[in-house]
Every structure is written in structure tokens, then in C-alpha cells.
Amino acid sequence: MRAVCPGSFDPITHGHLDVINRAATLFGEVIVAVGRNSAKKYLFDTDERVELARAAVADIPGVQVEVLSGLLVDFCRERDAGYVVKGLRFASDFDFELQMAHINHSLTGLETVLLPASAQWGTLSSTMVREVATLGGDVSAFVPALVAERIENKRTDHEG
């Protein structure tokens, strides 16, 4: 079975990796789909997010990373993936993901599996990591080492 874990992954965090690892255990094959959204202001561009995600999942068997553009249901159909896996932290995540699950299922029959965040990462978000990093804080506890390094490089490049 093949599943897709979609998201912006800006940046990829230990919380994302927890969900991806658990999805790989459940499904055996997982595609991490790094989305593009022209309305969003990203810290990392698409190529950087894909590169960082690939590095972060390199040791997880059965996981690959691809760029997601267009509809998720089309992406999944083209890759013969019948499942989407999303992590949930709060009730607001559930409300949004349930709506998405219903529309995706009605369009193509795509099933969505919602995994609760592990307690350790339940309050972690990429938005919080970006905010802390932008204000000069240390985010190394929340992201893989390469991601922390790249964030620091962006910050020092911006300051210099």
C-alpha cells in the first residue's frame, strides 16, 4: 500500500518526521508531497524544502519526496496512492482535515488517515519554528540538524 503525506514542510520538523515514520510503518511506502502555494510566504523555496525533506527522510525505508502541484487527489491517482496521512495536533486541525478528507473522498474515493501527534511534538508547528528562528531563537531541538543549520544560514545572510 502506498500513502501520501502532503504539506508545505517549511521547514520540516521532528513532528513531521514522527508522522512520516509512523505512516511508513503502517503503509510501507510513503510519498512526502511538498506543496507549492503561491499565496504563502515561505522561508525556504520549493527546491530547498524538497532537498531538506529528502535529507531528513533518507534513513526511513520506503519513503520518497516529491513536489506536489495541483490537486492532491490527482497527485495520488497518478502515483497509485489510495491514502493520505495527516498529523493532528489540536481540534482545529481535525476540523480542517475532516473537511479536506470529505472533499478528497467525494472527488476520487481517496481515504484519509489522521494520526494524532505524539505528545512530545503535539504543540510544534513550522509556523512557530519560523517565528522563533526569525527572532533569533535556537530551533535545533525542533528540526533536524541540517534544517537548523540552513535556518541559521538564512538568518545570518539576512543580517549581513
Q: Catalytic one among 2, 79, 89, 154?
A: 89
Alpha helices in 28-115 (DSSP H): 46-57, 72-78, 91-108
Any catalytic annotation for residue 154?
no
Closest Cα to residue 42, out of 159, 154, 135, 122?
154
Query: What are the DSSP calls for 118-160, one per residue?
Result: PGGGTT--HHHHHHHHHTT---TTTS-HHHHHHHHHHHHHHH-
Any catalytic annotation for residue 106?
no
Q: Catalytic one among 40, 41, 92, 158?
A: 40
Any catalytic annotation for residue 89?
yes
- The CB-side HSE value for 71 (13 A sphere, CA atoms) comes to 12
Q: Catalytic one among 49, 86, 126, 150?
A: 126
Closest Cα to residue 43, out of 141, 139, 119?
139
Which residues form the catalytic set?
A: 16, 40, 89, 126
